[in-house]
Amino acid sequence: MAGTSQACLHEYRPSFCVSMINSIQLQVNGEAAQCAPQTLLPDYLQQRGMNPRLVAVEYNGEILHRQFWEETYLQEGDCLEIVTIVGGGRL
């Protein structure tokens, strides 16, 4: 990718590259992460390979009720805690 100003660690798979200029920084489960600006929460969960129906999300310190997910756009500095719901039986 000579002659571009975009940072890309996966030049052989450009669809997985995120431009440092066109991304926002998040904290997800205590680790740094990034995504495109104006990404809806359910879309971000799917991008991470998660089934949105099987997770609970704490958004900036508050449990975010599922009814608000479709109107929640991730923003620079957001802090997410994502917990996968696991069914089980007796031990």
- Cα separation, 45 vs 66, whole angstroms: 13
Going by C-alpha positions, the residue among 91, 72, 82 that lies closest to residue 29 is 82
Q: Mind listing the pLDDT tens digit for each residue in 9-57?
A: 333 333 344 445 689 999 999 999 999 999 999 999 999 999 988 999 9
- In the chain, which ranges are continuous DSSP H helix? 41-47
User: For strand 62-63 and strand 55-59, is the pairing parallel, antiparallel, or unpaired?
Assistant: antiparallel
Report the pLDDT value the prediction gives residue 1, as an integer from 0 to 100: 40
Q: How many Å is the Cα radius of gyration of the chain?
A: 15
Residues 47-87 have pLDDT tens digits of 999 998 899 999 999 999 999 999 999 999 999 999 997 77
Half-sphere CA count of 45, side-chain side, radius 13 A: 23
Q: Which candidate, 7, 70, 80, places its Cα nearest to that of 39? A: 70
